[in-house]
Structure 1
Amino acid sequence: MGTGDKGSFIISVSTSVSGKRSGHDRCQSDPPMSNLLHNLVHYPRLFQLIAVLGFGGSFQYGFQIPVLNSPSPFIKAFINETWLRRHNSPITGGTLTLLWSLIVSVYSIGGLIGALVSGYFIGLYGKRTCQVCNSIFPVVAFVLVACCRIARSFEMILIGRFLFGFNAGLGMNIHAQYLSEIAPKKLRGFTNVTCCIFVTFGKFCGQLVGLSELFGTESLWPYVMSVCAVASLVQLFLLPFLPETPPYLLMEKQDEAGCMKAVQQLWGKGDHREEIEEMKQEKAAMKSIKIMSVLDLLRDRSVRLQIYVMVALMVGMQLCGINAIYFYSNEVFREAGFSDDQIPYIVLGVGVCETLSAVIASFLIDRFGRRGLLLTGYSLMGLALVLLTVSLSLKVWFPWLSYASIALIILFTLLFGVGPAGVTLAICVEIFTQTSRAAALVVVGSLNWMGLYVVGMAFPYIVVGLRQYCFLVFLVCIVLTVIFCFMFLPETKGKSVLEVTEVFRKLKFPRQHVLGRAQNSNNEQIMSTRF
């Protein structure tokens, strides 16, 4: 290679790097949600797919968490009535508690199984086909629950709850992975946060339909799950007409024409060369690597730091205290002087706040970044827990502090929605490549369901032992999560998957990175003297 060739090579490399940087800077400087109406007009099919996926995906998970709270007395009465008819004697308190615990917890068991098998089915059939088939489970589960009184079988409620859990566990993983692959770079953060929006909206709807004015009555409680069935039917009929994800078509199906068609359907007929080029680069980089299983992922040393970050994020979200807040809020509201008839509506108001906070996060995530929202949210949540502990401890001497406790609960919920709840899943899907993302989401789903089960079982005992000081346990978890994320979590805003992978490599091997930079600098100096 002659001197002129070397100069041309350096000029071409520098031009490509500068071009890449300029595109990256454009993405960074572009305020993606400042013109939401423009995006709705420019990406109509993308927003249609987000809505269909949301109602058939994470909405189901959120809806099932609170939906049985209000109708629980009627369900327990039905169990007792069925037991009496079968055995000619009323059910004992211990047996009733056991059966009710099974009805509540079997949802988590079904969810865990659904999360564990999601990677296998996604790899075998693709995300769209799996989600279409998954839409059948809520319909079957609703029919079982709706017919339980006619069949005089509380076992049908158990089976229905298990199927709802399986649907949610499988659907959450498919939904998260689908979202991570359908959006252009400038809308990637917003698109990923919609998963959290549908979770919180599902919780709100679950609280709403359980009220006595709707399905929370003795005659209508078997039909409380009809909302899930309707949402699944909508997805079942509409999703086949919407496109598969472009990365899946290009990297796993080797269908470049199908990928281009899906891109044009989702993003319009504009210039999408940068995103398509990134997909091709990722495809080239992963050409010799097969789709990872969970065991392959856990054994792969190259993504070990990403796994640690993912586990820290999921454990931190489960142990930050949000579930404890929901558990303790009824007692705080009761101590503030609200009656038991009023408390469900106040809790519904808290659910509205959580939904609004998730919507706010969708506007902020592409402007302020994932890392900033996460660290700020956790830090302010920790401060809110300190103040809540103080107010609960001193309310005996200062009764007005009960109202301060209510305000702090609402503030904590808002901070959780804007911070950890809004960005945790987005980060988890953005730090893994196409070959490892499905396996990573299996781990994410498993940690989520196990954490939900453990916290639900252990927290009542923590409350009995520590009372208002129980929140200090979660404060310690928040502090540890903030320290870990500050040290090891990079910003993923505006970066491609390969760029994020390179950042993690530099964090894992900082000395090699410094030596490499020094060597490149020396090479550049030597080459520059040859011109």
Structure 2
Amino acid sequence: MEKEAKSDFGIRPREAMDAAGSIEIVRPKRKKPKLTAFLFSTTVFSSIGMFQCGYSLWIVHSSAAIISEFHNATLKPVKEQPNELKFDDELLAVTTIMFPIGALSGLLLLGFLVDHWGRKGTLFLSNCINIACATLLGLSRSWNSYNVGIFARLLNGMSSGMFSCVVPLYIVEISPPNVRGALHVVSTWFLTMGVLMAQILGLHEALGNREGFPHLMSLVGVIAILNMVLLQFVPESPRFLLIQKGNETEARQALKMLRQKDNVEEEVEEMLLEDLCEKAEKNMNLLKLLCFRELRRHMICTIILMAGSQLTGVHGVYFYAERIYLSLGIGSKYIRFMLLGVNGGLHLVTLLVIFSIDSVGRRFLLLIGIMICSMISILLAVFLELQVKNNPSWAYISTMLVLLFLAAQMVGPAPIPYLLVGELFLQSARGSACMIGGFVNWFSRLFVPLMFIRLEPLIGPYIFLFFWPISIFIFIYIFKMIPETKGRTFVEIQKAMEMRLQKKEHRKRRAKSRAGVNSFH
């Protein structure tokens, strides 16, 4: 049985956490830090990484024709074979799969990087990788080398995977509890903005053609250079400096910059309390975290949250969306403008979440989003089947269901899991936990579409019925196991999580005792 470590003052972390809960009763009410212009600017500058991630995601998943044209151009001087088309299809598949493989590879390094190089240092490294990717993509055309382009997509995936975790991690740590949710969703808004920008520039009239594709991809490098310049003006995470590096002086300076005031003693005390409560979790890494018994329930929550965000059926909705829009009578040339309009609507939904998440709470938005997605999955299975049976009028209902589904996904399952993973752990374990959560999310992002492509030809739209019970299971698990985190410090969230576990254990013991009494009688 694992022994619980003592602090330097002879206090056990669990006792310190209990003390934190009791102090809450007698301590004067905390003053809520204001959202300063510098804090918001820091959030925006770091969120440019999510913009790059969204930009790259769209190009990988929605520009197959452009990539094929580009490969045809680079292959002409080196390949004159009768089975050219088949080879190009295989080449396109390899190019596409390199992106998620790169993301998974980058995430395997993330835990080490964020705990040794810092959050800001990892942001710099991710931008450097994107600059190298853009340079290689720009040169691949002049070198007539598709191999260079494929390797560049691997690098692009690495940077995107790292950005998808380190940006939310950094924002969660620099934000005060009362605006932490809103600032996190700002990074999601930048992700959707990156997708929108890629959609606009990817139009055939713009850069979505064989000649413009290298410039379309090289633009990622320009954005990365801009991001590196802006990151010069933002501080390192104060929590990383104080708790993991033990540098209280630099942590105070960073806090003063972020809060735009000199008196930051209250937040420093809260960080020192977190440092005291996590003594047993010091020097945490991937293997230690997976084997650490006290955080096992937290890890299960992380895996369910991150996999669940991809198991709502969202990939099936995107798969059917274009053919549903075509069945409305919209010409194939105008579908892209329909997609632009839908993305613009999702921006409005994201703004609504930004202004509501710290008032209505994470749990409510996440649960309502998952519930709506689960119900729409059933309805889509029904109406898509009716539409297949030569009833095109059902396409209007199917379109409304698709729009509602995407809005519900953006309300909860898309932005909130990354936020909750950052909030459920204390400082030393947070980096490794975000790495595991990000790996699960990207693996699900790779596995679920492959599974969908295999099963959809066999069962058609009834595949949505496969996602419904999974969504219901995730809904019940979140409702029972994950506490509300809005407005709470990380120590208070740990206390709330522990209380839920204690209540569950108490119910189990009471049920066993009742069963024993009944068997005795």
Q: Which whole-Å CA distance do the structure 1 matches of 2:205 and 2:192 have between them?
A: 21
2:25 aligns with 18
| 1:511/1:188 CA distance change after superposition, 3 Å | closer
1:528 aligns with none
CA deviation string 1:298-341 (max 9, x = no partner): 10110111111111111111111112211211111122222211
Q: How far off is 1:400 after superposition? A: 2.2
Q: Which has the larger displacement, 168-177 or 86-95?
A: 86-95
Q: How far off is 1:226 after superposition? A: 3.3
Q: Which whole-Å CA distance do the structure 2 matches of 1:462 and 1:14 have between them?
A: 50
Q: Which whole-Å CA distance do the structure 1 matches of 2:431 and 2:127 have between them?
A: 19
Q: How far off is 1:71 after superposition? A: 4.6
| 1:428/1:16 CA distance change after superposition, 3 Å | closer
Q: Which whole-Å CA distance do the structure 2 matches of 1:215 and 1:462 have between them?
A: 35
Match of 1:394 among 360, 382, 386: 386
Q: How far off is 1:241 after superposition? A: 2.3
Q: Which has the larger displacement, 103-112 or 468-477?
A: 468-477
1:466 aligns with 459
Equivalent pair of 2:106/2:159 in contact (CA under 8 Å): yes
| 1:70/1:373 CA distance change after superposition, 3 Å | closer
| 1:299/1:411 CA distance change after superposition, 3 Å | same
Match of 1:156 among 140, 148, 168: 148
2:244 aligns with 252
1:143 aligns with 135
Q: Which whole-Å CA distance do the structure 1 matches of 2:42 and 2:486 have between them?
A: 23
1:439 aligns with 432
Structure-to-structure mapping, 1:45-124, within 5 angstroms: 45-55=38-48, 57-68=49-60, 71-124=63-116
2:314 aligns with 322
Equivalent pair of 1:80/1:91 in contact (CA under 8 Å): no
Q: Does 1:490 align with 2:486?
A: no
Q: How far off is 1:92 after superposition? A: 3.5
2:222 aligns with 230
Equivalent pair of 2:168/2:187 in contact (CA under 8 Å): yes
Q: Which whole-Å CA distance do the structure 2 matches of 1:281 and 1:68 have between them?
A: 44
Q: Which whole-Å CA distance do the structure 2 matches of 1:465 and 1:13 have between them?
A: 56
Letter in 2 for 1:410: L
Q: Which has the larger displacement, 431-440 or 258-267?
A: 258-267
Q: Does 1:297 align with 2:286?
A: no
| 1:514/1:83 CA distance change after superposition, 3 Å | closer
| 1:61/1:276 CA distance change after superposition, 3 Å | same
Letter in 2 for 1:343: I
Q: Which whole-Å CA distance do the structure 2 matches of 1:44 and 1:81 have between them?
A: 48
Q: Which whole-Å CA distance do the structure 1 matches of 2:492 and 2:238 have between them?
A: 19
Q: Does 1:428 align with 2:421?
A: yes
Match of 2:183 among 180, 184, 191: 191
2:37 aligns with 44
1:476 aligns with 469
Letter in 1 for 2:255: V
Equivalent pair of 1:71/1:221 in contact (CA under 8 Å): no
Q: Which has the larger displacement, 149-158 or 13-22?
A: 13-22
User: What SS does the corresponding residue of 1:88 show, helix, strand or coil?
Assistant: coil
1:167 aligns with 159
User: What SS does the corresponding residue of 2:77 show, helix, strand or coil?
Assistant: helix
| 1:388/1:270 CA distance change after superposition, 3 Å | farther
Q: Does 1:126 align with 2:133?
A: no
Q: Which whole-Å CA distance do the structure 2 matches of 1:394 and 1:19 have between them?
A: 62
1:275 aligns with 267
Q: How far off is 1:116 after superposition? A: 0.8
Q: How far off is 1:194 after superposition? A: 2.0
Match of 2:498 among 492, 501, 505: 505
1:9 aligns with none
| 1:377/1:511 CA distance change after superposition, 3 Å | closer
Match of 1:378 among 370, 375, 381: 370
Letter in 2 for 1:281: L
Equivalent pair of 2:181/2:357 in contact (CA under 8 Å): yes
Structure-to-structure mapping, 1:441-460, within 5 angstroms: 441-460=434-453
2:402 aligns with 409
Q: Which whole-Å CA distance do the structure 2 matches of 1:288 and 1:305 have between them?
A: 16
Q: How far off is 1:205 after superposition? A: 1.8
Q: Which whole-Å CA distance do the structure 1 matches of 2:305 and 2:504 have between them?
A: 26
1:4 aligns with none
Equivalent pair of 2:130/2:224 in contact (CA under 8 Å): yes
Q: Which runs of 4+ in 1 moved over 4 A?
A: 12-16, 68-71, 511-515
Q: Which whole-Å CA distance do the structure 1 matches of 2:225 and 2:21 have between them?
A: 53
| 1:420/1:94 CA distance change after superposition, 3 Å | same
Q: How far off is 1:288 after superposition? A: 5.2
Query: Superposition RMSD on alpha carbons, in Å?
Result: 2.3
Q: Does 1:307 align with 2:290?
A: no
2:16 aligns with none
Q: How far off is 1:163 after superposition? A: 0.8
TM-score (norm 1): 0.87
Equivalent pair of 1:362/1:422 in contact (CA under 8 Å): no
| 1:14/1:435 CA distance change after superposition, 3 Å | closer
Q: How far off is 1:512 after superposition? A: 7.0
Aligned identity (percent) is 28
Structure 1 residue runs of 5 or longer lacking an equivalent are 1-11, 33-38, 516-531
Q: How far off is 1:152 after superposition? A: 0.7
Q: Which whole-Å CA distance do the structure 1 matches of 2:436 and 2:428 have between them?
A: 14
2:278 aligns with 286
Letter in 2 for 1:380: I
Equivalent pair of 1:80/1:96 in contact (CA under 8 Å): yes
| 1:140/1:372 CA distance change after superposition, 3 Å | same
| 1:17/1:152 CA distance change after superposition, 3 Å | closer
CA deviation string 1:466-495 (max 9, x = no partner): 212121112222111111111111111122
Structure-to-structure mapping, 1:200-215, within 5 angstroms: 200-215=192-207
CA deviation string 1:497-531 (max 9, x = no partner): 1122122222223277799xxxxxxxxxxxxxxxx
| 1:372/1:21 CA distance change after superposition, 3 Å | farther
Equivalent pair of 2:137/2:218 in contact (CA under 8 Å): no
Structure 2 residue runs of 5 or longer lacking an equivalent are 1-18, 509-521
Letter in 2 for 1:22: K
Letter in 2 for 1:44: A
Equivalent pair of 2:75/2:144 in contact (CA under 8 Å): no
| 1:437/1:59 CA distance change after superposition, 3 Å | same
Q: Which has the larger displacement, 227-236 or 428-437?
A: 227-236
